[in-house]
Structure 1
Amino acid sequence: MKRQGSAGQSLALLVVLSLGGSLAAVPAAADEPRTPQVEWGQCPDDVVAEAAPTELRCATVPVPLDYADPQGTQIDLTVSRLAAADPDKRRGLLMLNPGGPGGSGLALSALLVAQGLPSSVTDRYDLIGMDTRGIGRSTPVSCGFTTDSPYYSNIPPYAVDDAAVTAQAEIAEQAAEQCADNDDGMLRHLTTANTARDLDRIRAALNEEKTSYLGYSYGTALGAAYASMFPERADRIVLDSNIGDTHLDRDGLRRYALGMEQTLPDFAKWAARRHDSYGLGRTLEQVRASYLTIAGTLDDAPVAGIDGSLFRLLTFGHLFKQSQYPKLAQTWQALLEGDEAAARGLAAVPKGSADGALSPNDNALTVFLSVTCNDVEWPEDVNTYRQGVAEDRERYPLFGAATANITPCAFWPYTPAEPPVKIDAEGPRNVLLLQNRWDASTPHRGGKLLREKFGDRARLVTVDDSGHGVYVLGKNSCALNTATGYLVGGEMPTKDTFCRAD
């Protein structure tokens, strides 16, 4: 089954993610490794351009491909640094992750500075960005996906019926086989646990006893894993837009549909106030009805290469930020009116999400699949997914029949080498969780789940707002002040906090 047209070719959502021997006996950290001196130099030209006018320095840190064989094959990690602006105030490292898994983070520090990261933070921390294992400028991986591949998104397509699940199962199996055929031995070692071990190798290479951490979206899973595996080395941890655990599993993917149900009303209210301009409805209910009408019409007759599945995916992607609402409204309007030319021009998914995952990229798709499928066992029976699709089509009519649909993880050639990292609730109270009330890809439930698992180690800051990304990327003053106060002065809230909308 081929996907529809050029609009689909612009889209890959990573929100979103068999080893013969077992690594279950591998410790979180062996004795402190002997690491080479990091030599900072010029960043790659594309990173320089993306970070401008902020100037970053880059370096390479070698790490074991397989931590069960630490002296074996080494891979390279490319890291970036924005040095603390005031050496007299310097506290240490603040490692950054934009999410994915599959998002490049080399220029994330510059993005945050451009968005208004307070100087009280940049004065005190070396901001450390990176391409984690398998990504971009680090030793990269590839399944060989192209713009013509039927597998083009890490969120499965909306299944209108059982036959659509069967068709997607064939595509998912082909994608898993393609990854196996293109694997040079690296894919099976892409896991959240190994990436957390990499973070600790970077910390050691930079000669720091501890590191602080700021992670968005999937970056919360990585940060939760690091804080659990290395509690004595985790300093101040901020996890923003939480997926709910140290890994993305089937339940986590299905929560995307919950997030869309909770977030679409924010767009619907916005559009209803602008009915005279866009004609999508004068009430929340009418705008929702317009969505279902457009989706059903496109299921039967695609417009400009956009079928109902792609329309639903485009809508989901545009709910990440309120700044994307006007383009979403334009697209709906064009599709309602059957304006093919307008729809074709408007249908590209916007870039710049907190998880860095809205770009058509074989490397990003490959990393997402590898980490997600390697972290935890996924059901293998197609009927399990058929049942889930039927359940979620009723439970979450907007998007449930997509996120419950079958993924390549059902056919992944490798079994998890170790259990997923378990949250450690016994460490220091040093985990600050930030969560918008309405977030399409990481609904508020994810923040509550992580709060429950961390227990007294964590505090949850709930923001009465919508969108994906809170700290700096959002505009809530209460959340900004709370997280900055923690990073700068260690001021952890005494209890969970609710931040009203500004």
Structure 2
Amino acid sequence: MNKTPLLIVTGVAVFGTLASPPPPAAATLEPRRTGALARFEQQEIVWHGCRKGPDDAAGRRLDAARARCAEITVPLDYARPDGRTIKVAMSRLEATAPGRRRGVLLINPGGPGVPGLSQVLIGSAMPEVAARYDLIGMDPRFVGRSGGASVGCRWDTGTFVRSAGPSRATFDEGVTAMRRLAAGCAGSDHGMLPHASTRNTARDMDLIRAALGAPKLSYLGVSYGTYLGAVYLRMFPGRADRFVLDSAVDPDAYGPGLLRPAGPAMEAALRAWAAWAATRHDRLRLGATAGRVLATVDRIARAAGRRPLRVGPHRVGASVLPYVLAARLADDGEEAYASLAADVALLRQAARGARVTPAASLDLLLTDALTGAGEGFDRAGTPVLCADRAASRDPGTYFRDIEAHRADEPLFGPMTRNISPCAFWPTAPAEPPTDVRTDAPALIVGAAGDPWTPHTGQRAMRRALSGSRMITLRGAYRHGVFLAAGAPCVDTAVTRYLSGGVLPAADTTCTRNGAGG
């Protein structure tokens, strides 16, 4: 996921449902390639400008940075390489020091469902890395400019990450909504849905590597991108060079139920923000103690549970409020915390019946969450989640899980444990989940208080990748740390590894001021 979770989520388009028991055997190494794939590996790449029209701001920025774009042809179904094909869009920013060039570094921003072409632009923030690598951005299959866009879901809502609300009745309303959203995806080409998987995206990455003539691929992935990177490491260990995984997901939990363990981490992040707000009570007036700030939030939540709050043109009910708060908690910086405080103050007024107008940032967040007018990353990402791992199709399973944790996860548990469209998906995964366990080296970095991909899951990724090393940023409650957390201990270690190949000697922890252990 980017620093704004999706999705959602943006960056974290990782959604909460209970997964069905995995198949008996988990997919692991990629079978030996056949000659049928040679034509894809040897295809000529035709580079061109990135801007697609006068309103293409992203393409204009890429062109201004002297990046180039292209499309490669890949099989829709790698088991049938002579069958249907699709196009995958990519961008490249060439190494700034050609004489020191090491290879190619592919960057994935998370999601799933987030376009990646613009990721090459972060080269300006890591000049030593940009000197050594051609930076590669990629819109994963069925996302952005890549082929198979018909797989994207047709919804009038921006995200399905919704809370079940306070009762069985509100949960049942959500079940009806999720069934409708799944039908909005079922209207696409059913034959393509099973091929939206992470395993196929990893295969696409390897074809990009081959078409570029690179013997190995280096990689930087955030949030969902850490799972994609781990899948590539497992499937193609001999073709992986230097891999960095930022804010890692639990590889055994990844799929429709990825958010399920995140409720306690979100509650902890909310408490950390509340403590910050309490020290500024003379200005914010949200509560003089963390407990009183949390009581303010609770009163807002109770009011939204009785009747949706009127926030400009939006209606913020119990199903949406937890997502709005959790999205803001993805960043623990001073500016982000102040923005959340302003949102809470506004929502408190709305809870009291006042007519309020949201600030531009809150209006954008609500537009993305409530309408089909936003970026809609999880409309593209949902087919990936549902193709990667099957979900339980029994609504009662989700409700019982929510009720069992309602006391200790009162605000976020009904969201992270809620049902999703995958419970009503029209097709089954074409392959079992990937067992990512491998001794291939990698560097894993993350915040100890990450609300979207909890530290327990980051540690699970570390155990699965036995050849990796892990750096944990203590005292941080954010999603995404490299170049985003103001933590030199993380930024220096990642740069050192990518540019020089030096992994830390052991797992370490550090703080933003540099203190480590």
The answer as to whether partners of 2:26 and 2:435 remain within 8 angstroms in 1 is: no
Separation in 2, partners of 1:242, 1:26: 21
Residue 460 of structure 2 aligns to a residue in which SS? Answer: helix
Q: Does 1:137 find its partner at 2:145?
A: yes
Identity %: 35
What is the identity, as a one-letter code, of the residue corresponding to 2:33?
A: A
Separation in 1, partners of 2:11, 2:471: 25
CA shift at 1:26, angstroms?
A: 9.6
Q: 1:418 aligns with which of 406, 409, 431?
A: 431
Report what 1:312 is aligned to.
Answer: 322
CA shift at 1:154, angstroms?
A: 3.4
Q: 1:185 to 1:28 in 2, by over 3 A?
A: same
Q: Deviations over 1:194-241 (max 9, x none)?
A: 100110010000001100000001000100000110000010000001
The answer as to whether partners of 1:463 and 1:499 remain within 8 angstroms in 2 is: yes
Q: 2:338 aligns with which of 312, 326, 334?
A: 326
Separation in 2, partners of 1:108, 1:258: 31
Report what 2:347 is aligned to.
Answer: 335
Report what 1:48 is aligned to.
Answer: 59
Task: List gaps (5 residues or longer) in structure 2.
Answer: 1-6, 15-24
Deviates more, 1:136-145 or 1:415-424: 136-145
What is the identity, as a one-letter code, of the residue corresponding to 2:44?
A: Q
Residue 254 of structure 2 aligns to a residue in which SS? Answer: coil
Q: Does 1:440 find its partner at 2:459?
A: no
Report what 2:189 is aligned to.
Answer: 183
Separation in 2, partners of 1:251, 1:107: 29
Separation in 2, partners of 1:103, 1:377: 22
Residue 93 of structure 1 aligns to a residue in which SS? Answer: strand
Q: 1:203 to 1:335 in 2, by over 3 A?
A: same
Separation in 2, partners of 1:244, 1:101: 15
Separation in 1, partners of 2:398, 2:492: 43
The answer as to whether partners of 1:158 and 1:403 remain within 8 angstroms in 2 is: no
Report what 1:39 is aligned to.
Answer: 46
User: Over the residues paired in the alignment, what is the CA RMSD in angstroms?
Assistant: 2.6
Separation in 1, partners of 2:509, 2:232: 26
Separation in 2, partners of 1:136, 1:210: 26
CA shift at 1:492, angstroms?
A: 0.5
Separation in 2, partners of 1:246, 1:486: 26
Q: 1:175 to 1:389 in 2, by over 3 A?
A: same
Residue 107 of structure 2 aligns to a residue in which SS? Answer: strand
Report what 2:469 is aligned to.
Answer: 459
CA shift at 1:366, angstroms?
A: 3.0
Q: 1:311 to 1:434 in 2, by over 3 A?
A: same
Separation in 2, partners of 1:14, 1:360: 18
Report what 1:348 is aligned to.
Answer: 363
Q: Does 1:380 find its partner at 2:397?
A: no
Separation in 2, partners of 1:189, 1:39: 25
Q: Does 1:409 find its partner at 2:415?
A: no
CA shift at 1:350, angstroms?
A: 5.3
The answer as to whether partners of 1:256 and 1:403 remain within 8 angstroms in 2 is: yes
Task: List gaps (5 residues or longer) in structure 1.
Answer: 1-9, 352-357
Report what 1:473 is aligned to.
Answer: 484
Report what 1:355 is aligned to.
Answer: none
Q: How does 1:45-444 map to 2 (within 5 A)?
A: 45=52, 46=56, 47-51=58-62, 53-110=64-121, 112-114=122-124, 116-117=125-126, 119-139=127-147, 140-146=149-155, 149=156, 151-183=157-189, 185-245=191-251, 248-304=254-310, 305-321=315-331, 322=333, 323-338=335-350, 339-343=354-358, 347-349=362-364, 361=374, 364-426=377-439, 428=440, 430-444=441-455
Q: 1:447 to 1:390 in 2, by over 3 A?
A: same
The answer as to whether partners of 2:43 and 2:211 remain within 8 angstroms in 1 is: yes
Q: Does 1:15 find its partner at 2:26?
A: no
Q: 1:469 to 1:66 in 2, by over 3 A?
A: same
Q: 2:33 aligns with which of 26, 30, 35?
A: 30
Separation in 1, partners of 2:510, 2:273: 21
CA shift at 1:248, angstroms?
A: 2.4
CA shift at 1:185, angstroms?
A: 2.8
The answer as to whether partners of 2:9 and 2:111 remain within 8 angstroms in 1 is: no
CA shift at 1:53, angstroms?
A: 4.4
Report the TM-score, using the length of structure 2 for normalisation: 0.86
Q: 1:369 to 1:79 in 2, by over 3 A?
A: same
What is the identity, as a one-letter code, of the residue corresponding to 2:463?
A: E
Q: 1:186 to 1:363 in 2, by over 3 A?
A: farther
Separation in 2, partners of 1:410, 1:56: 41
Residue 169 of structure 2 aligns to a residue in which SS? Answer: helix
Separation in 1, partners of 2:146, 2:132: 27
Separation in 2, partners of 1:279, 1:361: 32
Separation in 2, partners of 1:253, 1:28: 31
The answer as to whether partners of 1:102 and 1:135 remain within 8 angstroms in 2 is: yes
Report the TM-score, using the length of structure 1 for normalisation: 0.89
Separation in 2, partners of 1:56, 1:246: 37
Separation in 2, partners of 1:85, 1:240: 24
Q: Deviations over 1:167-196 (max 9, x none)?
A: 111111121122112226322210011100
Q: 1:494 to 1:211 in 2, by over 3 A?
A: same
CA shift at 1:69, angstroms?
A: 0.4
Deviates more, 1:459-468 or 1:188-197: 459-468
The answer as to whether partners of 2:73 and 2:88 remain within 8 angstroms in 1 is: yes
The answer as to whether partners of 2:159 and 2:379 remain within 8 angstroms in 1 is: no
What is the identity, as a one-letter code, of the residue corresponding to 1:249?
A: G
Q: Does 1:449 find its partner at 2:460?
A: yes
Q: 1:316 to 1:188 in 2, by over 3 A?
A: same
What is the identity, as a one-letter code, of the residue corresponding to 2:349?
A: E
What is the identity, as a one-letter code, of the residue corresponding to 2:197?
A: T
Residue 79 of structure 1 aligns to a residue in which SS? Answer: strand
Q: 1:216 to 1:254 in 2, by over 3 A?
A: same
The answer as to whether partners of 2:9 and 2:327 remain within 8 angstroms in 1 is: no
Q: 1:463 to 1:12 in 2, by over 3 A?
A: closer
Separation in 2, partners of 1:318, 1:349: 12
Separation in 1, partners of 2:238, 2:252: 18
What is the identity, as a one-letter code, of the residue corresponding to 1:48?
A: G
Separation in 2, partners of 1:41, 1:50: 14
